[in-house]
Amino acid sequence: MVSWPNQILKIRPDQQYQNNLQVNVYGIFTAGSKPSNFNGRQKRFNRDINLANQIWNGGGMCNINFIPQPVFEVKTIIDVTNLGFQAAMEGPVKGLIKKVKHKIGNPTGIYVVYTSGNDFAFSSGSTSPIGAGGVIIEDFRIKDGIPKFTLFGSIALSNRALNAPFTFAHEAGHVLLTELDKQPFNNIFKFNAIDPTGPFINPVTGKSDIAHSNLVGNLMAPVLPNIIPTIDPLQLQKARMSRIFQNAIIK
């Protein structure tokens, strides 16, 4: 439910990837996140993973598997009520993820921070987001004229996302669809989540959103449907090329 708003990274065609792609997912429950007990938190985390696998691997076409890893409980408080999603992701969420992954040896994967607060602050007066998804880039360098880096998935889910069971699958989509800009701007490389079935065009404002799908009922639409969302083949193809997969072939 979030938009994230020279050298070319060369990746071989999709058919040269292994059939089954796996990414580890680590859950981090902060103080005040719901449910309040460990068993309830474990169930929420497992539900998020299971539904994401049902969508991203349910039809056998994409074969992307999210593998649940240990759940962590921390005393840190991240109340997103007064935080915009960008401020949260670049500030306390990113800081907490770096701290946790450093403690466990910096394994590649997606890190999900369950925050307190029902909604992220949203200054435009539009519907307040309940989740945010993006990436953390580390060890970025240029080697032999080609960008090299390590990519980690970064997701934050508010308490209200507990009642929106497809939110993790949506935010994980932002992680998988994030790409490196082909050309740097002022010698700065940027990473953007670009949905191949977008951009979403806001029917009220006319604004364009490259991070979201313009297809009704799609998982990557800005507002999730009440039924199981769909995924387009173009999204599947691009998601399979995500740098987060250890078995992606880079040349």
Q: Which two tokens stand for residue 32?
A: 């005040």
Mean local confidence (pLDDT), 89-113: 96
Q: Which domain holds residue 126?
A: 18-196
Residues sharing a CB contact under 8 Å with residue 102, sequence separation 6 or more, in sequence order: none
> Within 10 A of 243 (CB to CB), how many other CB atoms are there?
20
Residue 64 located in a structural domain: yes
Mean local confidence (pLDDT), 40-52: 97
For residues 202 and 211, the answer to whether their CB atoms sit within 8 Å is no
Assessment of whether the complete model's pTM goes beyond 0.85 = yes
- Cα–chain-centroid distance for residue 126? 21
Residue 209 located in a structural domain: no
pLDDT of residue 19: 64
Q: Which has the higher per-residue pLDDT, 33 or 188?
A: 33
Residues sharing a CB contact under 8 Å with residue 60, sequence separation 6 or more, in sequence order: none
- Can you state the percent helix, strand and coil of the chain, rounding each to 5? 25, 25, 45
Mean local confidence (pLDDT), 95-109: 96
Mean local confidence (pLDDT), 168-195: 87
CA distances to 23, 25, 77, 140, 237 from 17, in Å = 14, 21, 40, 24, 11
Residue 98 located in a structural domain: yes
Residue 76 located in a structural domain: yes
Q: Please determine, for residue 58, whether its predicted confidence score (pLDDT) is greater than 80.
A: no
CA distances to 63, 133, 146 from 19, in Å = 7, 25, 27
Q: Please determine, for residue 10, whether its predicted confidence score (pLDDT) is greater than 90.
A: no
Residue 158 located in a structural domain: yes
Number of domains in the chain: 1
Q: What CATH code is carried by the domain that includes residue 84? A: 3.40.390
Q: Name the percent of the chain lying above pLDDT 90.
A: 63
Q: Please determine, for residue 133, whether its predicted confidence score (pLDDT) is greater than 50.
A: yes
Catalogue the long-range contacts made by 222-231 (C-beta closer than 8 Å, 24 or more residues apart). 222/1, 222/3, 223/1, 223/127, 224/1, 224/164, 224/166, 224/167, 224/170, 228/54, 228/55, 228/166, 229/55, 229/166, 229/169, 229/170, 231/55, 231/56, 231/62
DSSP one-letter code for 91: I
Q: Please determine, for residue 60, whether its predicted confidence score (pLDDT) is greater than 90.
A: no
Residue 204 located in a structural domain: no
Q: Please determine, for residue 4, whether its predicted confidence score (pLDDT) is greater than 90.
A: no
Distance separating alpha carbons of residues 220 and 200, to the nearest angstrom: 10
For tokens 């029902």, what's the residue? 118
pLDDT of residue 234: 94
pLDDT of residue 23: 95
CA distances to 77, 189, 251 from 119, in Å = 15, 31, 42
pLDDT of residue 183: 73
At residue 33 the predicted structure's pLDDT band, cuts being 50, 70 and 90, is very high
Residue 162 located in a structural domain: yes
- Nearest-CA neighbor of 32 among 73, 2, 72? 73
Q: Which has the higher per-residue pLDDT, 31 or 15?
A: 31
Q: Please determine, for residue 122, whether its predicted confidence score (pLDDT) is greater than 90.
A: no
pLDDT of residue 44: 98
Pairing mode, if any, of strands 146-157 and 110-114?
Answer: parallel
Mean local confidence (pLDDT), 36-44: 97
At residue 17 the predicted structure's pLDDT band, cuts being 50, 70 and 90, is very low
Residue 244 located in a structural domain: no
Residues in the chain: 251
Distance separating alpha carbons of residues 158 and 162, to the nearest angstrom: 8
Distance separating alpha carbons of residues 229 and 166, to the nearest angstrom: 8
At residue 56 the predicted structure's pLDDT band, cuts being 50, 70 and 90, is very high
